[in-house]
Amino acid sequence: MLMLTRARELWALLVAAALLLPGFAVADLMQSDNFRLDPNVASSFGGDSSSQSYRLTDTGGEAVVGAGSSQSYNLGKGYDRQLPHSLTISVVPAGTYAYWPLDTGTGTAAYDVGPNGDDATLMNAPTWVTGMVGQGIDLNGSNQYLSTATQLAAPSDFTLEFWFKSTSTTGGYLAGFGNAQTGASATLDRLVYLTDAGNVTFGVKPSAFETITSPASYNDGSWHHVGASLGSGGMKLFLDGVLVAVDNAVTTAANYSGYYRLGYDNLTGWPSAPTSNYVDASFDEARVIHRQLRDTEVLNDYTAGANALQNAFTLPNVTPGQSQSYSVDAVVRTDAGGYDMFVQRPEPLTHTDNSTTIPDVSGSIAAPTAWVEGTTTGFGFTLTGGFGLDGKWGTGPNYNYAALPSASTNYHTRTGLNGGVRETTTIQYRADTSSSQKSGTYSTQVIYTATIKP
């Protein structure tokens, strides 16, 4: 269970009920003591046979080619027989465009484990370092940055989140969207930059420059979480989960196509532009969501990172007698013929008093039950989108819901795949409490796993 700060506890008393659910899933590259197996690229090692799914990168100890063995994997002829297929799974908020955990630890790519696979290229060899959660990237402030591969239309609503730490007194571009994949963009907005004084500025340019800036400076050498969003709620800037600046009048940005950038772009003309366009800083856990997150979602993302959790989400405040829902996307990539998905919640939804719980709905995964608004109470989940969904889940708006099992249980099976596909299945969580439910914050863990089918 997440430990909540005193400020968060006080905030929780003001709402009917809020649910905080950290979701865990495997989304890292498999590795032994000496070799990392990379499921995002084709085979590039020698020998009599080769994998179509992995490249072996020697990070110390043993030669890649030959009949030797590492601590975990035999190399050469036996390799295909041991690891015939790969699979990765990540769970992200619905609407996520890309999520770069920055946990690769080697090589020149920052892999996107979200639904679109928009991997970022590391320009001029940034250094892999210990991050806020797992590993991260350090940029030198002179020529290093990250840039994505896919050109796309600038989103109308979006949220940009990342962790950074810096002691720079010359500022620099932190993250954003620009029309150039490399070099300096001629058109750019939806960006966040650090001033020479260490203040964080969020800017868009629908016609003129529109910016909001943090009152405090953040170039203190500590990790800080940034959330910058645009939508019907205006421009919002969050630092460490707290809303520090807002402009409700600005709800649009420029219309153009471009790429997401991290660590460098052209800031000429922007208010309080820093001395340097490049930023000397470390980064971790960067992601873009193509919708404006609620304030509580940004706070939860900060809380999750501060507690070393890579994935977490918050259900909206629960009003007695009314259903509230929230959706996440489970993204699976595999070169196998199919996969089984499993879910588990070891502990019930429990209040911060460590005793009060929210009950489950009556349906099981084997026999989910229809949710009847105003009649059904409890907490449950269903599948509202994806490929090859089992018929037991029903169709919207009256989906069938099941309780989350305490033991790992299969809830979705997918077959008939061919090639290294990336599939997204949308999971909706829903809660409805009785009028007597105790106010406060309830939390639990939801664990997702997947296994390969032949």
Please write the tens of the pLDDT for every residue from 71-126.
444 444 333 334 456 788 888 888 999 999 999 888 899 999 899 999 999 999 99
Q: pLDDT at residue 172 above 60?
A: yes
Q: pLDDT at residue 63 above 70?
A: no
The answer to whether the beta carbons of residues 188 and 266 sit under 8 Å apart is yes
Please write the tens of the pLDDT for every residue from 11-30.
222 233 455 555 555 444 44
280: domain range?
96-290
Q: Which pair of tokens denotes residue 197?
A: 């004084």
Average pLDDT estimate for 243-259: 98
Whether residue 57 lies inside any domain: the answer is no
Q: pLDDT at residue 32 above 80?
A: no
What CATH number corresponds to the domain at position 254?
2.60.120.200
Same domain, residue pair 249 and 367: no
At residue 378's C-alpha, the angle toward residues 375 and 382, to 5°, is: 95
Tell whether pTM > 0.75.
yes
Instruction: Give the residue among 132, 441, 131 at the shortest CA–CA distance from 306.
Output: 132
CA dist 265 and 277 (Å) reads: 6
List b or e across 167-185, with b for residues whose CB sees 16 or more CB atoms inside 10 angstroms.
Answer: ebebbbbbbbbbbbbeeeb
Same domain, residue pair 280 and 358: no
Q: Which residues contact 438 (CB under 8 A, 6 or more apart)?
A: 17, 351, 353, 356
The answer to whether the beta carbons of residues 224 and 240 sit under 8 Å apart is yes
Whether residue 432 lies inside any domain: the answer is yes
The answer to whether the beta carbons of residues 35 and 82 sit under 8 Å apart is no
Distance of CA 68 to the CA centre of its chain: 37
HSE (side-chain half, CA atoms, 13 Å) at 282: 20
Same domain, residue pair 272 and 368: no
CA dist 271 and 274 (Å) reads: 9
Number of domains in the chain: 2
Torsion of CA 226, 228, 234, 240, to 10 degrees: -10
Lowest mean pLDDT among 15-29, 172-186, 216-230: 15-29
Same domain, residue pair 228 and 364: no
Whether residue 416 lies inside any domain: the answer is yes
Q: Which pair of tokens denotes residue 289?
A: 């969501």
For the chain, percent helix, then strand, then coil, each to nearest 5?
5, 45, 50
Q: Which pair of tokens denotes residue 451?
A: 């296994």
Same domain, residue pair 334 and 388: yes
Average pLDDT score, the chain:
83
Whether residue 297 lies inside any domain: the answer is no
Whether residue 47 lies inside any domain: the answer is no
Please write the tens of the pLDDT for every residue from 381-413.
999 999 899 999 988 878 999 999 999 999 999
Same domain, residue pair 326 and 218: no
